[in-house]
Chain A
Amino acid sequence: MHFKPITTAIVLTIFATTASAAQTEPLKIGFMTTLTGPAASVGKHMQDGFNLYLKLNGNMLGGRDVKVITVDDELKPDVAVTRAQALIERYKVDFVTGIIFSNVLAAVLKPVTDSETFLISANAGPSIFAGKGCNPFFFNVSWQNDTVPEAMGVYLEEKGPRKIAVMAPNYQAGKDMIAGFKRYYKGEIVDEIYTQLNQLDFSAELARVAALKPEGLFAFMPGGMGVSLIKQYSQAGLAGTIPFYSVFVVDETTLPATKEAALGLLSTIQYAPTLENEANRIFAPAFEKEYGYVPSYYASQAYDAAQLIDSALKKTGGRTDDKALLRGALESGDFTSVRGDFRFNVNHFPIQDYYLVKAVRRADGMFHTDILEKVLDDHGDSYASECAMK
Chain B
Amino acid sequence: MSYTLLAVQALNGLQFGVLLFLIASGLTLVFGVMNFLNLAHGALFMVGAYLAVFVYQQTGAFFLAVVLGLVAALIFALMIEVLVLRHFYRRDHLAQLLATFGLILILNDGSKAIWGSSPQSLPLPEILSGSVPLIDNLQYPLYRLIVIGVGLVVALFLYLIVQHTRFGMLVRAGAADSEMVSALGVDVRRLFMTVFAAGAVLAALAGILAAPLIAIEPGMGDNVLILAFVVIVIGGAGSIRGAFVAALLVGLVDTLGRSFVTDLFRVVLPPASANEVGPAIASILIYALMALVLVFRPAGLFPAPGRS
Contacts and interface: CB of A to CB of B under 8 A. Distances in A.
A89 interface: no
Interface of B: 2, 4-5, 8-9, 12-13, 15-16, 109, 112, 116-121, 123-124, 129-131, 139, 141, 143-144, 210, 212-220, 223-224, 255-256, 258-259, 262, 271, 275, 278-280, 282-283
Q: Which 10 A-B pairs have the closest CB atoms?
A: A40-B117, A227-B215, A224-B215, A257-B119, A41-B118, A194-B279, A203-B12, A41-B117, A207-B8, A211-B5
A196 interface: yes
A164 B47 CA distance: 39
Given A200-B220, A235-B129, A236-B139, 5 more contacts: A44-B116, A207-B8, A226-B215, A227-B215, A257-B119
B15 A203 contact: yes
Contacts of A204: 9, 12-13, 255-256, 258-259
Size band of the A side of the interface? 35 or more
Given A40-B112, A204-B9, A254 B255 contact: no
Given A203-B12, A204-B258, A207-B259, A235 B118 contact: no
Interface string A314-353: 0000000000000000000000000000000000000000
A261 to B, nearest CB: 8
A85 interface: no
Contacts, number: 129
Interface of A: 35-38, 40-41, 43-44, 170, 192-196, 198, 200-201, 203-205, 207-208, 210-211, 223-228, 231-232, 235-237, 253-254, 256-260
B213 A258 contact: no
Contacts of A196: 258, 279, 282-283
A258 B212 CA distance: 10
B217 A224 contact: yes
Nearest to B257: A204
B109 to A, nearest CB: 8
28 contacts: A38-B219, A41-B116, A41-B119, A192-B275, A193-B262, A194-B279, A196-B279, A196-B282, A203-B12, A207-B5, A207-B9, A207-B12, A210-B139, A211-B5, A225-B215, A227-B119, A227-B217, A228-B214, A228-B215, A231-B121, A231-B213, A231-B215, A235-B141, A236-B141, A256-B118, A257-B120, A258-B121, A259-B121
Contact of B121 (A207, A211, A227): A227
Contact of B283 (A170, A228, A258): A170
Contacts of A227: 119, 121, 214-215, 217
Contacts of A193: 262
Nearest to A37: B219
B214 A201 contact: yes
Contact of A236 (B2, B131, B255): B131
Contact of B141 (A44, A237, A260): A237
Nearest to A191: B262
Contact of A170 (B16, B139, B280): B280
Given A44-B117, A224-B220, A236-B131, A211 B143 contact: no
A236 B5 CA distance: 14
Contact of B223 (A41, A198, A203): A198
B275 A194 contact: yes
B258 A38 contact: no
Contacts of B119: 38, 41, 223-224, 227, 254, 256-257
A200 B42 CA distance: 14
B213 A195 contact: no
Contacts of A40: 112, 117, 218
Contacts of A200: 210, 213-214, 220, 223-224
Contacts of A195: 258, 279
Contacts of A41: 116-119
B147 to A, nearest CB: 11
Contacts of A232: 213
A237 B8 CA distance: 14
A156 to B, nearest CB: 20
B258 A205 contact: yes
Given A200-B214, A237-B139, A208 B279 contact: no
A196 B226 CA distance: 14
A257 B223 contact: no
A343 B13 CA distance: 50
A237 B131 contact: yes
Contacts of B217: 38, 224, 227
A210 B215 CA distance: 22
A228 B117 contact: no
Contacts of A35: 117
Given A38-B218, A196-B283, A228-B215, A235 B143 contact: yes
Contacts of A207: 5, 8-9, 12, 259
